[in-house]
Amino acid sequence: MNWESAIKDFRQYLRLERSLAKNSIDAYLHDVDKLRQHAFCTHAKDPDAIVTQDIRDFLEWIYSLGMSPHSQARVLSGIKTFYHYLALESVVAHNPAALIEAPRLGRKLPDTLSIVEIDALIGAIDLSSPEGPRNRAMLEVLYSCGLRVSELIDLKISNLFLDIEFIRVTGKGNKERLIPIGHSAIKHLQLYLQHDRKEVKAGMEDYVFLNRRGAPLSRVMVFIIIKDLAAKIGLQKTISPHTFRHSFATHLIEGGADLRAVQDMLGHESISTTEIYTHLDRDYLRSVMIECHPRA
């Protein structure tokens, strides 16, 4: 099998069987294409002729280009998935990347906002402006529910169950989940929907958060809104919509929430992804001990 056919079939597998989003599929294909380029530059092997040593040579090559350990690990993960698929299809007898270990990575803890900082950001919104009530409702929902930015901009009115204090979102892999929503978020969401959401483009009636032309907000616009608010209050941290998600999870863990419950609310497939927030909590506890314990 040549590279073109293998990559085309792999794309279909990721889209239909794995139900991955377009960005995720593009990332996998980009990683595999790097291996294809290396194969053509060195020995022009087809994908079914690649062996473990070829992949080790490829990893040494991307390391020599200055690629970071995190990026190397991501590329290797994509190649392992590619050859796992080829093995499933009996194109190769076994996965030549299966036993190759990724570079050791230091775990980077995500940036978070304190409750005071979140209050300051939300308090900086000018509610007298046309977009102010929308922005207030948007940030309240983002923090109250720990949404990804893609989940926020795709949120539908038909998926709001405010009478029972839940919303339904579609996350990665088109997986749906129900998330509790707090009273403050409900209040500002209802105010926005009932009084301030006026211009609605045809066919966009079910989207919650709309721009001034009545179309759904873009990811970029959500980033810009948050960056502008951070500048307005003089916040020195580099933040994004995802910072609100990290803060949501961190504050729940610090408050004693069950890790499995947080995993369900975040929509993490693996509990190990959620466990990073326990590291944040331990750092907080350690700082309290150092500050308050007489023998610390």
Average of per-residue pLDDT across 170-194: 91
Are 206 and 157 within 8 A, CB to CB? Answer: yes
* Res. 31: pLDDT tops 80: yes
Cα distances (angstroms) measured from residue 119 to each of 116, 127, 130, 233, 240:
5, 14, 21, 11, 16
- Tell whether 82 and 152 lie within a shared domain: no
Residue 294 banded pLDDT, cuts 50, 70, 90:
low
Give the structural domain span for 59.
3-88
pTM score of the predicted model = 0.60
- Please say if 277 is a catalytic residue: yes
Which 3 state secondary structure label does DSSP give 116? helix
- Tell whether 234 and 123 lie within a shared domain: yes
* Res. 224: pLDDT tops 70: yes
Which 3 state secondary structure label does DSSP give 160? strand
Q: List, in sequence order, every residue forming a beta bridge with 156; answer none if it has no partner.
A: 207
Q: In what order do the strands lie in the sheet with 176-180?
A: 160-161, 166-170, 176-180
- Please say if 198 is a catalytic residue: no
Please name the residues in contact with 281: beta carbons below 8 A apart, sequence gap of 6 or more: 250, 253, 254
Which one of the listed residues 80, 148, 188, 251 is annotated catalytic?
A: 148
- Tell which wins on pLDDT, 67 or 142: 142
Residue 18 banded pLDDT, cuts 50, 70, 90:
confident
* Res. 140: pLDDT tops 80: yes
- Please say if 183 is a catalytic residue: no
pLDDT at res. 183: 93
- Residue of 232, 236, 229, 211 lying closest to 221 (CA atoms): 211
Describe the chain by its helix, strand, coil percentages, rounded to 5. 60, 5, 35
Q: pLDDT digit string (tens) for 147-156?
A: 989 999 999 9
**Final residue belonging to a domain, choices 73, 88, 103:** 88
- Please say if 268 is a catalytic residue: yes
Which one of the listed residues 74, 172, 219, 227 is annotated catalytic?
A: 172
- Please say if 8 is a catalytic residue: no
**Final residue belonging to a domain, choices 72, 88, 104:** 88
Distance between CA atoms of 112 and 100, rounded to whole angstroms? Answer: 34
Which one of the listed residues 36, 188, 245, 251 is annotated catalytic?
A: 245
Which one of the listed residues 45, 177, 268, 279 is annotated catalytic?
A: 268
The tokens describing 97, both together, are 């990347």
Cα distances (angstroms) measured from residue 106 to each of 70, 80, 191, 271, 273:
9, 21, 44, 19, 14
Residue 161 banded pLDDT, cuts 50, 70, 90:
very high
Q: List, in sequence order, every residue forming a beta bridge with 216; answer none if it has no partner.
A: 210
Average of per-residue pLDDT across 159-183: 90
- Tell which wins on pLDDT, 268 or 106: 268
Q: Fill in the DSSP letter of residue 44.
A: -
- Tell whether 24 and 143 lie within a shared domain: no
- Tell whether 69 and 129 lie within a shared domain: no
The tokens describing 243, both together, are 């910072």
The tokens describing 293, both together, are 């314990």
Specify the number of domains making up the chain.
2
In a domain, 81, yes or no: yes
CATH code of residue 16:
1.10.150.130
In a domain, 100, yes or no: no
| Sequence letter at residue 126 | D
Average of per-residue pLDDT across 106-131: 86
| Sequence letter at residue 236 | Q
* Res. 40: pLDDT tops 50: yes
* Res. 266: pLDDT tops 50: yes
Which one of the listed residues 83, 85, 207, 277 is annotated catalytic?
A: 277
pLDDT at res. 287: 57
